[in-house]
Amino acid sequence: MAKVSVFDMTGNKVSETELADAVFGIEPNEAVMHAMVVNYLANQRQGTQSTLTRTEVRGGGRKPWRQKGTGHARQGSIRAPQWTHGGVALGPKPRDYSYALNKKVRRLAMKSALSSKVLDNNIIVLDNLTATEYKTKTMVAMLKALNVEGKALLVTAEADQKVIKSASNIAGVKTAAVNTLNVYDILNYDKFIVSKDAVAKIEEVYAK
């Protein structure tokens, strides 16, 4: 089992804890993580883009000129795609981009992402991640005490509104509860800052 230091919110080391190898100590599978990230991004797409076809553009009800004898190319409507203000040929229409990956792939991707953070020494375990009041200054002070630079993901066992609101104004910082954790966020943020009780909950869910 990997042994990591446990810090308090003032940046002082208070103890050590062991992380389960079944969750935090596997060989990261890059192909599976890539598949999960692509799936996540596809599922975030709204798919609401839409263009008007020649049947949907207003106007163009009659033939602009007769078929023969004018010297012009034959035309059937001024709303055909080759005309200015005409319809769009083969343009996008509303569609659903989402698709599902099987449970084994999702679990392996999550464990691979968590293990990659341990391998890169980008995981910070806190004995407690809480806020007594809605203050951005509290979270800024914690990040400074932990020497965190760049993007950071703060993970709590349950959704804590005071932590969420206190961190929401800090650029490059995102909060997540264990039940909303996803592979994309783990890989997208430089530091993975997680409370000790959240680690226990992650291991409970993914160690099986």
Q: Is 37 contained in some domain? A: no
Task: Say yes or no to pLDDT of 1 above 80.
Answer: no
165 lies in the same domain as 107 = yes
Domain count, the chain: 2
Q: Is 41 contained in some domain? A: no
Taking only the tens place, the pLDDT of each residue in 152-201 is 999 999 998 999 999 999 999 999 999 999 999 999 999 999 999 999 99
60 lies in the same domain as 162 = no
62 lies in the same domain as 141 = no
169 lies in the same domain as 128 = yes
CA distances (Å), origin 90, targets 51, 53, 59, 167: 9, 8, 20, 45
Q: Is 138 contained in some domain? A: yes
6 lies in the same domain as 91 = no
Task: Give the model's pLDDT for residue 181.
Answer: 95
Taking only the tens place, the pLDDT of each residue in 88-137 is 999 999 999 999 999 999 999 999 999 999 999 999 999 999 888 899 99
Share of the chain above pLDDT 70, in %: 100
174 lies in the same domain as 111 = yes
Distance in Å from the first CA to the final CA of the chain: 16
Q: Residue range 35-47: average pLDDT?
A: 96
Range of the domain at 91: 46-96
Q: Can you give the CATH number for the domain in which 124 is found?
A: 3.40.1370.10
Q: Is the pTM of this model over 0.95?
A: no
Residue 23 pLDDT level (bands cut at 50, 70, 90): very high
